[in-house]
Chains A and B, each alone.
Chain A
């Protein structure tokens, strides 16, 4: 077989769909999409992102690996499940979108500057460290995301709400220094580590 032939073969062998089926959560559903467009039209964030689920699924099948994995679309999903309940083929679209986002993040291809990606990472880090979400820390991180001055501005805008939360004992300033934690935070971290190990082994992520 000549080099030209092999090139053509490589071009037309859809490895990316197979990759998605094997390594992305619920990825084996992608081939079931019949391109009706109901998900795209049902998405409340539809006009605001680059690729609708319908388009993402078609791009996967067309082998557009880089465009799919670096897309911001999966990061914009708010898990409203509108697409899932309306999909005539019952595809778990929300789950696939989150699966794709996670997969892109693992490969380091996710868009670095995407705000929802940043927030997701901050949230995950926040809640796995102690086994409890530290809301005060999370809020501060979000407020000061765009620099100190902008953070102070947001803080000032929300002062009335903050004061009420404080009086109602829904917010404790000492949390910043002494965060509450679950009984066995170490245990949770060990559990997550083991889960990653199992997933790596099953999905064939090389260590």
Chain B
């Protein structure tokens, strides 16, 4: 696995979410050598954790499956999971990239039969459900995981639990002696598809995400609606597991705010509109959504979807950024306080659940990338002084899946231009 051959014609793509997969595939299908590096044990990134896409409300598995098939079919593309870039030196057309590979403790023999998962008893927080549930310490990340292979959490390696997993495996797939490795590879261009992370909602003090169990984030709500999620698709409150039928969606939770994220995260309006329809789907006439907003930014064609939701009698729009959230002591119901802009009416409205439409922040802030890089004031990557770096998807800006894919294709094209030039120099 580790004998990765790369030359200065190779394009390295950092990050295996929808953007990284697309950029890598587009370049590979143009006949370029591509190395796709992913930090976690699986490709798919945050797209794999969505329940539905907007505006057509189709399932992300569809788009991911097509890409996974393309990856399996491509001879020019190699994928390294559990790998991180630690250092980059050199210039455009001639980079030297240092990678750190963490051990998976499971080799290629794995058939994803699940015997190790059954044998192991230790449980860890499930990051694929944003910590809303636990999972076994020998796990398959999710149903769409690629490679479709189990992973052992480092916490059980060297313990009796690790030995149990090894004993349960019929295929000799578990290798507890795997070690962390460092490798150095050549590359002509690097595409950063490092994606995004939800803004830490606990920092928005007046909304009480850290204090009230029934205040959750939009990414967590996405998991609640998903049949593969922690509740098996039941939209329930974290405090008592009761069905949440009256839900407040609070827009710009962290975005467009000088105290938090300066930029508009662009996807949250559409995401909340989409999520009101999850509620409708689950509870029909009993579903009551309230969207608190400054202004709804349903860009270009999405206006149609916005109009459709506006016509839904189960969805109410309140033009106001709530000032604070309180909690009823007995019921633990969140109460949203504020003043609306259309008439300046003071309100204090009780809901079953509050969903904060949290902003997107770049998961690798410009400054953390191990090479000189130019980032904007929000940390989104713009370029590098050496000229061979390109950003794709949410590493470059707050984008939805559709626009991430467009951005990734553009990134691939620019990277191809660089390695084409180094072709000619050597020829």
Asked if A and B bind, the verdict is yes
A residues with CB within 8 A of B: 34-42, 46-47, 52, 54-55, 85-90
B421 in the interface (beta carbon within 8 A): no
Q: Do the beta carbons of B344 and A54 come within 8 Å of each other?
A: yes
Q: Do the beta carbons of A38 and B338 come within 8 Å of each other?
A: yes
B339 in the interface (beta carbon within 8 A): yes
Contact partners of B252 in chain A: CB under 8 A: 36, 88
B308 in the interface (beta carbon within 8 A): no
Across the interface, B320 reaches (CB within 8 A) one of A36, A46, A87, A90, namely A36
Contact partners of B211 in chain A: CB under 8 A: none
Q: Do the beta carbons of B346 and A47 come within 8 Å of each other?
A: yes
Known: A37-B320, A40-B339, A41-B320. 7 other contacts (CB 8 A): A36-B252, A38-B338, A41-B338, A54-B341, A88-B252, A89-B258, A90-B259
A90 and B258 in contact, given A38-B338, A52-B339, A52-B344 (Cβ under 8 angstroms): yes
Main secondary structure of the interface of A (DSSP, over half): helix
A41 and B339 in contact, given A52-B344, A55-B344, A88-B252 (Cβ under 8 angstroms): yes
A40 and B324 in contact, given A54-B339, A88-B252, A88-B257 (Cβ under 8 angstroms): no
Bitwise, B236-266 to A at CB < 8 A (1) or not (0) is 0000000000000000100011111000000
Across the interface, A41 reaches (CB within 8 A) one of B256, B259, B294, B337, namely B337
Number of residues of chain B lying within 8 A (CB) of chain A = 20
Q: Do the beta carbons of B323 and A86 come within 8 Å of each other?
A: yes
A88 and B259 in contact, given A37-B340, A52-B339 (Cβ under 8 angstroms): yes
Contact partners of A90 in chain B: CB under 8 A: 258-259
CA distance A37 to B321 in the complex (A): 6
Instruction: Specify which of A37, A52, A87 lies most central, judged by the most chain B CB atoms within 10 Å of its CB.
Output: A37
Rounded to whole Å, the gap between the CB of B343 and the closest CB of chain A is 10
Bitwise, B343-369 to A at CB < 8 A (1) or not (0) is 010100000000000000000000000
B206 in the interface (beta carbon within 8 A): yes
Q: Do the beta carbons of B344 and A36 come within 8 Å of each other?
A: no
In chain B, what residue has the closest Cβ to A90?
B258
CA distance A112 to B323 in the complex (A): 32
Show 13 residue pairs from A and B whose CB-CB distance is below 8 angstroms, ordered by the A residue. Answer: A36-B341, A37-B320, A37-B338, A37-B340, A38-B338, A40-B323, A40-B344, A41-B322, A52-B344, A85-B259, A86-B206, A86-B259, A90-B258
CA distance A87 to B321 in the complex (A): 10
